[in-house]
Amino acid sequence: MKHIVILISGGGSNMLALLRAAQRDEWATRFGARVAAVIGNVPGALGLKRAAEAGVATAVVSHKAFADRESFDAALATEIDRHQPALVLLAGFMRILTPGFVARYEGRLLNIHPSLLPAFPGLNTHQRAIEAGCAAAGATVHRVTAELDHGPILGQAVVPVLSGDTADQLAARVLSQEHVLYPRVVADLLSKM
Ligand code: GAR
Ligand 1 contact, 10 CB (< 6 A): yes
Q: Residue count of the chain, please give it.
A: 193
Q: How confident is the model at residue 50 (pLDDT cuts 50, 70, 90)?
A: very high
Ligand 1 contact, 138 CB (< 6 A): no
- How do residues 95-150 score in pLDDT, each as one tens digit? 999 999 999 999 999 999 999 999 999 999 999 999 999 999 999 999 999 999 99
- Ligand 1 centroid to residue 114 C-alpha, Å: 7
Domains in the chain (CATH in brackets) are 2-112+140-156+179-191 (3.40.50.170)
Distance (Å, rounded) from C-alpha 88 to C-alpha 160?
30
Name the pairing type of β-strands 109-113 and 136-143.
antiparallel
Catalytic site residues? 113
Supply the pLDDT for residue 116: 98
- Ligand 1 centroid to residue 111 C-alpha, Å: 9
Closest atom of ligand 1 relative to the 90 alpha carbon = 13
Asked whether the whole model's pTM tops 0.85, one would answer: yes
